[in-house]
Amino acid sequence: MNDANYLIKQFKTPDAEYEPVVMWFWGDMPTEDGITFQMEQFRSQNIINFFVHPAGCDIEYLSDRYMELIQHVVKEAKRLGMYYWIYDEYDYPSGIAGGKLIQVQNGRYF
């Protein structure tokens, strides 16, 4: 295949790594059933790349329960042939992991 035909084909049907990535905001209290339903809806609309943003989520960021739900997301993404992109931030400013990176203990910052 010549270069022009290859480029046209790639433009019309790009590989997964070139498709848009959806920012999926979790609001309220997500559940495994709700997550599965929404992921199946994404997949039915050919949305295969996504990451979870916990804004508005009633579950504490990076808590055990939050991580259980992320494990469910990873399992479902594999089942559905989707790609979960790790989103390492919560809230702003960037780089503080929702305030968990810098914590004060006994007057010292960690």
Q: Confidence band (pLDDT; 50, 70, 90) for 72? A: very high
- Give pTM, 2 decimals: 0.76
Question: Which run of H or of E encompasses 51?
Answer: strand 49-53
Average pLDDT, the chain: 85
Max CA-CA distance within the chain?
A: 66
> What is the number of other CB atoms lying within 10 angstroms of the CB of residue 96?
13
pLDDT in tens, 33-47: 999 999 999 999 999
pLDDT for residue 1: 56
Q: How far apart are CA 102 and CA 110, in angstroms?
A: 5
pLDDT for residue 14: 83
Mean pLDDT of the region 50-72: 91
What are the percentages of helix, strand and coil residues in the chain, rounded to 5?
40, 15, 45
